[in-house]
C-alpha cells in the first residue's frame, strides 16, 4: 500500500455519495482509508460494510461559525491521530476547513475535489464576495484541486497556478448501474401500463435541481403526448411544495413521486427519456448513468451538463425554461431518433465517463501531491 488516506466530506447524498463510494472502492487496494463524515447511520453502515474505518467529523451543510469550529477541531484530531499521507477533502466547505489546517506543499498532502460550482445560484453580492475570498484561500493552500468539469474550473476565481487544478470527470462503473429488479417489475411498481411513455427525473428535491420545472414541463408534454407518465425519484426539502405544484397544475395523476430509491436504476430502466432540469450542476452523475442505461437525456445547459450531453445523445435547453424542456422531450419521444440516441449515449458514457479512468487519474494526482509534500 502507498500509505493512509483520510477522506473528508460534508453531509452528502445522491450523485456525490455514489462518486465517493466508487472512488473508495477504486483506491482501497492502494491506500488504507479512513473516512471523516457526519454521524449518519445509513452511510456509516455502507462504509463499514466495505471495511472502511469511520471517524465522526460533523461538518455542517452550510457555513456556520460555531459548528465549523467544532468540525475543524474534530478534523485536526483525526489528522493527528491517523497521520495520513494524503487528506482528500470533498466539496468547497470541507476543502476550506482542510485548508485552515494544511499547507500547499506540507505533510500530509491536501487534495480537494470540487464537485459543484461553489457560489450558489441567486447568491447575494455579500455572499458572492465571501465565497470568492474563501475559494481563493482554498486555491492557495491546497496542494492539488480536482474539479469534475471544465465548467467548475472556469468558475474558479483568479488564475490558479498551472498544473495544480485537474479536470477529472465523475466516472461510473457500468456494473454499479445495473438494476436490481427486472423491467416488468419496475413498471408494475410504478403503475405504468404497456401503452404509457415514461419521462423521468432523478434528483434531490432542492432548489438547485430544478424539479419544479420538470413538473411545469409535464403540463406541456401531456398535451402533446397524453399517454406520458412522469416519474420523480428522490427526496428533499421541496417535496411537499413540488407535489402541491403538480396538483395545482392539474398533473398530479400523471406524476409519480416515488421518493429516494437505491439503486435508482431500478426505475430509470423504465424511462424513455431522462430529464435533468438543474439550475446549477457540476457535472451530473444521473446524466451519465442514464446514458449507460441507453437512455436519451434532455438537460439544461447548467454547469458541466454541456460536457456530458450532446445533440447526438439528447437535447440541451437553457436553464429555467420548462416550455423548451417540454418541446425537447416531445421531439425525442416522437421524432424517431430515440433508438439511435440511446445507442450513442451508451457508447459515449463508456468512452468518456468510466470509473476506471476516474480512479487512475485520481491516483496520479495523489502521487503528485504526495511527492510535492515530501520534497
Query: Any idea what the CATH number is for the domain that residue 110 is in?
Result: 3.40.50.2000
45 lies in the same domain as 114: yes
pLDDT in tens, 337-372: 999 999 999 999 999 999 999 999 999 999 999 887
Cis peptide before 108 (omega within 30 of 0): yes
Query: What pLDDT, on the 0 to 100 scale, is given for residue 162?
Result: 60
134 lies in the same domain as 20: yes
58 lies in the same domain as 158: yes
Whole-number Å distance between alpha carbons of 367 and 373? 10
201 lies in the same domain as 323: yes
131 lies in the same domain as 224: no
Query: What pLDDT, on the 0 to 100 scale, is given for residue 42?
Result: 82
pLDDT in tens, 270-305: 999 999 999 999 999 999 999 999 999 999 999 999
Query: What pLDDT, on the 0 to 100 scale, is given for residue 161?
Result: 60
- The three-state secondary structure class of 308 is coil
277 lies in the same domain as 303: yes
Segments in the chain below pLDDT 50? 375
- Specify which residues 354 forms β-bridges with: 172
Query: What pLDDT, on the 0 to 100 scale, is given for residue 257?
Result: 97
* Residue 21 CB-half CA count within 13 A: 20
Which of 57, 279, 223 has the alpha carbon at shortest distance from 299?
279
Number of domains in the chain: 2
9 lies in the same domain as 140: yes
Which of 1, 40, 37, 43 has the alpha carbon at shortest distance from 18?
43
Range of 347's domain?
174-352
Query: What pLDDT, on the 0 to 100 scale, is given for residue 14?
Result: 72
Which of 208, 198, 205 has the alpha carbon at shortest distance from 231?
198
22 lies in the same domain as 53: yes
98 lies in the same domain as 9: yes
DSSP 8-state code for residue 298:
E
Contacts for 270 with CB less than 8 Å, ≥ 6 apart? 183, 186, 187, 190, 192, 198, 200, 231
144 lies in the same domain as 284: no
Query: What pLDDT, on the 0 to 100 scale, is given for residue 107?
Result: 82
Amino acid at each position: 500500500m502507498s500509505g493512509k488516506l483520510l477522506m473528508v466530506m460534508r453531509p452528502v447524498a445522491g450523485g456525490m455519495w455514489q462518486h465517493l463510494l466508487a472512488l473508495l472502492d477504486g483506491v482501497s487496494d492502494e491506500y488504507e482509508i479512513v473516512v471523516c463524515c457526519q454521524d449518519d447511520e445509513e452511510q456509516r453502515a455502507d462504509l463499514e460494510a466495505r471495511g472502511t474505518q469511520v471517524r465522526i467529523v460533523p461538518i455542517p451543510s452550510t457555513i456556520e461559525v460555531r459548528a465549523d469550529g467544532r468540525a475543524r477541531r474534530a478534523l485536526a484530531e483525526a489528522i493527528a491521530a491517523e497521520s495520513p499521507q494524503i487528506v482528500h477533502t470533498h466539496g468547497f466547505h470541507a476543502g476550506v476547513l482542510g485548508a485552515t489546517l494544511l499547507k500547499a506543499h506540507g505533510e500530509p498532502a491536501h487534495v480537494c475535489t470540487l464537485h459543484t460550482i461553489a457560489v450558489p445560484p441567486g447568491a447575494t453580492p455579500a455572499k458572492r464576495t465571501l465565497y470568492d475570498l474563501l475559494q481563493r484561500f482554498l486555491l492557495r493552500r491546497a496542494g492539488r484541486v480536482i474539479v469534475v468539469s471544465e465548467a467548475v474550473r472556469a468558475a474558479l476565481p483568479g488564475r490558479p497556478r498551472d498544473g495544480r487544478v485537474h479536470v477529472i470527470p465523475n466516472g461510473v462503473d457500468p456494473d454499479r448501474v445495473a438494476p436490481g429488479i427486472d423491467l416488468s417489475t419496475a413498471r408494475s411498481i410504478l403503475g405504468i401500463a404497456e401503452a404509457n411513455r415514461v419521462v423521468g427525473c432523478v434528483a434531490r428535491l432542492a432548489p438547485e435541481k430544478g424539479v419544479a420545472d420538470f413538473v411545469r414541463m409535464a403540463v406541456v408534454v401531456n398535451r402533446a403526448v397524453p399517454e406520458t407518465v412522469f416519474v420523480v425519484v428522490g427526496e428533499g426539502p421541496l417535496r411537499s411544495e413540488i407535489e402541491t405544484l403538480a396538483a395545482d397544475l392539474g398533473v398530479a395523476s400523471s406524476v409519480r413521486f416515488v421518493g429516494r430509491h437505491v439503486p435508482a436504476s431500478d426505475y430509470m430502466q423504465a424511462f424513455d427519456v431522462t430529464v435533468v432540469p438543474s439550475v446549477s450542476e457540476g457535472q451530473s452523475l444521473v446524466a451519465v448513468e442514464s446514458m449507460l442505461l441507453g437512455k436519451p437525456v434532455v438537460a439544461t445547459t447548467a454547469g458541466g451538463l454541456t460536457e456530458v450531453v450532446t445533440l447526438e445523445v439528447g437535447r440541451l435547453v437553457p436553464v429555467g425554461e420548462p416550455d423548451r424542456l417540454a418541446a425537447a422531450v416531445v421531439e425525442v419521444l416522437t421524432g424517431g431518433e430515440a433508438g439511435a440516441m440511446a445507442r450513442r449515449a451508451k457508447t459515449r458514457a463508456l468512452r468518456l465517463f468510466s470509473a476506471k479512468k476516474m480512479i487512475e487519474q485520481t491516483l496520479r494526482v495523489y502521487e503528485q501531491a504526495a511527492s510535492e509534500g515530501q520534497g
